[in-house]
Structure 1
């Protein structure tokens, strides 16, 4: 996760009870962040098992991922403002409770609808966690080396969660069933709720009380959802379908309403004036491409390895572990590399990732693991890891300090929405290529042809993100 938008303007001296060590707040923040990021990765490996057990359509399978990402991204800025308004403790507690109960409901889902609703509510709770955790650390450690160490631990926990998520998901799906990729959040969530209740003080950060732009959050989330629905349905129904046209028209109306609200409301989620900054406009393109590439690569790889190559869920998780570890290591070392003089890491990362994704367009139905899976996924992990922590930092290099918090939150939101939109567009492409394949008499080959096209399109997105980063001012040595 990138930097949270909800960084308080002033310190919160008594966020932790006096008798509680400050490192306890760091542990709570890191574990909460770990859980949010892990939940985005852990589900990917369980998707085929979910599809078989609940008879999910291809569209529903896509929405298991998109419902979470869309709700997470759409409500992130609203959650950040709520944290400023009501205090870090109450928003963190609320997010944990919503996330935990939604995980429990998702584990008991008896049909696709119940699962998708649970995932959307999970994303809503995760938006509060994603924006509160870094704010808690900054409130406890306003300045000094302890702050830098705590933020590094927070960033590392998020990176490691992505790597371990696929293995944990594979192990749970194979040994206990897919429902446990949802249930695993429940004991952790309730333990965190108890920790927050006993360790953190209910102190508000200040007297400024900005209004919550609820309608802004609702219109952007529903508008993006309608857009994704219209794109997704076009593969099966065609662009002239009344359902597709209705969804796209609704998306246009909702998105226009969102920008109208932002222009007129006193406390908008996104003041439109920020888009006058070149770095914000181009930086968001970079982050959109990063979000789509990062999520789509794992999404399609998990399906190809299980549904085409015949891997088990555990084998798939272990196969993707080197990619996750490489991504985490690259993300952690990318900022020191930039500080040492390497200024264009997002550019190189985008091209390296694109090379790996192009390599994946040649993966056969019976792959050799080292040549066809390990090699390309290491490149993808390396490239995306180099982009992950540096893309937003590079984009922020041209943003005035007073707008840095807003821009950071906008980049984080764009990453999640880019991931959701990317999955929708790329899944539609894959399904269309599969439907029109010359190998219709061999379903697995037709399906593989569609995924090859999706990998190629993802490579193009990654390359575009990398090339776009060249328009940004290089990050100065700190």
Structure 2
């Protein structure tokens, strides 16, 4: 058996031994695990009508097939990230994949709405466990800036393109077989990932906090985040101005404020407040909320536009979204790391946001009798800018993470993704629906009313992306360049900006 270099959890090269594996294999397994989690956030979108008909969901409850997954996933990410720091990130990742795979089986064999919703909640919890620590593990595996940039680019491609691939697979599997297979397909992938990851991923040593979990803080933040996501998704039913919506939001804010007070006083805080002293870490997470809100809301609404206005079927809708995944993959895997290394994450992020804003702006003019080649394909190509945005955001969000905090900072980054996704779907869909209902009451045709409603949503999405670009200029600081010697010559790499108080 060929000997490979041993890699410890920090990515350093050690003694040679026949039972070791290259870092690229570990990265691939982390990406596959993340892909399963991301796919299942969107794979159900085009299958919802079939699920509703088969299991007897009411129209009002059908959206909970997606919402309950987001509540569990978004609510548990921060806790899972800190537990990974305390008990070991490898253990947390393996446990998450195992829970996710078993829950996928339960989803696939569900025979009632109640069974499916319970299984989806468990699936979201497993997804949170696995994904919360993944980015932290990658940053630890690849400490060199140039290598880290390429690794984060690959990981970000999975996050960005995986959502689009979920739509493709959801449509194909639903029409070729049935909706059960959108969940059952996870079983062989999860089993193989679990077996290989147990052997390949290096065991990490917790950074001196073993057994010291902030139980009170964990309870407060988990309850607060779950209530916040619940409030956002219920705003679609209640309306943003309803007393019920504001009561839920107020309750969530009280819990999160109590969590912040707890973190300032706890001996071993779940989320050290020093994390937010970095302008880049804080700014990247704020910008991510706005960006993901726009892009995830767009993703759901453009599917509805293609199906309800243009008359596309499930499979055709999925294939129509494929150029987005291809464009994101080409950018994030091909050029993002080199651009970040040469021009800095902040500048690359700004360019990516400008491209995304242009794409969303173009979408505000889609007509009732839209042409795919003229009205949609250019947008899907421009959305390849996401291949610049997400790697740059991930680089900035992890830039000042201490080794002992890498898991929780990774969990924070994933948490803001989920908050942004839930907020985007609820906000844009509510605005679109409200406009559509007003036009229907005026006697407009359904196709015209729907299209005008989507115009409102895409306009708001454009504003959110433009605001993200402005905040990038205002909040984020350019990284410093550092020089290192490579084979006797100098090479310049990006280094994180120094820790700065806000």
Task: Provide the C-alpha distance between the structure 2 equivalents of 1:270 and 1:102, rounded to a whole number of angstroms.
Answer: 28
Aligned to 1:328: 329
**Residues 275 and 401 in structure 2, CA contact (< 8 A), matched pair in contact too:** no
Q: 1:240 to 1:417 in 2, by over 3 A?
A: closer
Shift of 1:461: 0.9
3-state SS in 2 of match to 1:390:
helix
DSSP 3-state at the match of 2:366: coil
Q: Which residue of 2 aligns with 1:473?
A: 477
Partners of 1:330 and 1:275 in 2: CA distance? 30
Secondary structure of 1:75's counterpart equals helix
Looking at structure 2, the residues matched to 171 and 160 of structure 1 have their Cα atoms a distance apart, in angstroms, of 17
Change beyond 3 A, Cα 1:473–1:244: closer
The 5 Å alignment of 1:120-199 reads 120-136=121-137, 153-197=154-198
Partner of 1:77: 78
User: Any unmatched runs of 5+ in structure 1?
Assistant: 1-7
Q: Are 1:80 and 1:132, in contact at CA under 8 Å, matched by a contact in 2?
A: yes
Give, in angstroms, the shift of residue 317 of structure 1.
1.0
How far did residue 95 of structure 1 move? Answer: 0.5
1:108 CA drift (Å): 2.9
Do 1:323 and 1:378's aligned partners in 2 also have CA atoms closer than 8 Å?
yes
**Which residue is 2:40 aligned to?**
39
Task: Classify 1:101/1:440 alpha carbon distance in 2 versus 1 (closer, same or farther; 3 Å).
Answer: farther
Which whole-Å CA distance do the structure 1 matches of 2:224 and 2:207 have between them? 33
* Counterparts of residues 110-125 of structure 1 (less than 5 Å): 110-125=111-126
What is the correspondence of 1:414-425 to structure 2 with a 5 Å cutoff? 414-425=416-427
Q: Is the 8 A contact 1:210 1:267 kept in 2?
A: no
Summarize the Cα distance change of 1:368–1:240 in structure 2 as closer, same or farther, 3 Å threshold.
Answer: closer
Partner of 2:360: 357
The 8 Å contact of residues 362 and 452 in structure 1, kept in 2 or not, is answered as: yes
| Offset of residue 271 of structure 1 | 2.3
State the distance in 1 between where 2:282 and 2:150 align.
31
Cα deviation for residue 200 of structure 1 reads: 5.8
- For 2:428, the equivalent position in structure 1 comes to 426
| Secondary structure in 1 matching 2:213 | coil
Describe the shift of the 1:183–1:73 C-alpha distance in structure 2 as closer, same or farther (beyond 3 A): same
Mapped contact 2:152–2:394 kept (Cα < 8 A)? no
- 1:435, distance to aligned residue in structure 2 (A): 2.5
In structure 2, C-alpha distance between the alignment counterparts of 1:83 and 1:268, rounded to whole Å: 14
Give the aligned partner of residue 375 of structure 1: 378
Give the drift of 1:404: 8.0
Q: 1:171 and 1:195, CA in 2 relative to 1: closer, same or farther beyond 3 A?
A: same
Between Structure 1 and Structure 2, how many residues are aligned? 468
Q: 1:205 to 1:284 in 2, by over 3 A?
A: closer
How has the CA–CA distance of structure 1 residues 182 and 416 changed in structure 2, closer, same or farther, with 3 Å as cutoff? Answer: same
User: Which stretches in structure 2 are left out of the alignment for 5+ residues?
Assistant: 1-7, 482-492, 494-502
Residue 448 of structure 2: aligned partner: 445
Q: 2: CA distance between counterparts of 1:338 and 1:197? A: 32
The answer for the alignment partner of 2:490 in structure 1 is: none
User: What is the rounded CA distance, in whole Å, between the counterparts of 2:263 and 2:316 in structure 1?
Assistant: 47
Structure 1 residues 189 and 140: CA distance shift in structure 2, 3 A: same
1:316 maps onto 2:320 in alignment:
no
Cα separation, 1, equivalents of 2:298 and 2:241 = 30
- Asked if the contact 1:350/1:387 (under 8 Å) is kept, the reply is yes
Q: Distance in 1 between matches of 2:405 and 2:214?
A: 20
What is the 5 A alignment of 1:206-355? 207-209=208-210, 211-234=212-235, 236-237=237-238, 243-332=244-333, 333-341=335-343, 344-355=347-358
Distance change in 2, residues 1:421/1:117 (3 Å): farther
Aligned to 1:5: none
Contact 1:10 1:205 in 2 (8 A): no
Question: What's the TM-score, normalizing by structure 1?
Answer: 0.84
Q: Aligned partners of 1:414 and 1:346: how far apart in 2?
A: 17
Show the counterpart of 2:496.
none
The structure in which a higher percent of residues are strand is: 2
- How far apart, in 1, do the equivalents of 2:362 and 2:282 lie? 31
Map of 1:413 onto structure 2: 415
SS, match of residue 311 in structure 1: coil
Which string of whole-angstrom CA distances, capped at 9 and with x for unpartnered residues, describes residues 273-299 of structure 1?
A: 433443344332211112212322211
Using the alignment, how far apart are the partners of 2:209 and 2:233 within structure 1?
A: 42
Q: Is the 8 A contact 1:356 1:376 kept in 2?
A: yes
Query: How much has 1:33 moved relative to structure 2?
Result: 2.3
User: Are 1:366 and 2:375 counterparts?
Assistant: no
The structure with the larger Rg is 2
| Partner Cα distance (2:204, 2:410) in 1 | 25
Which residue of 1 is the match for residue 19 of structure 2?
A: 19
Residue-by-residue CA offset, 1:201-228 (whole Å, 9 max, x unaligned):
7674465426233443443343344344
Q: Which moved more, 1:387-396 or 1:168-177?
A: 387-396
The alpha carbon displacement at 1:139 in A equals 6.2
Partner of 1:384: 386
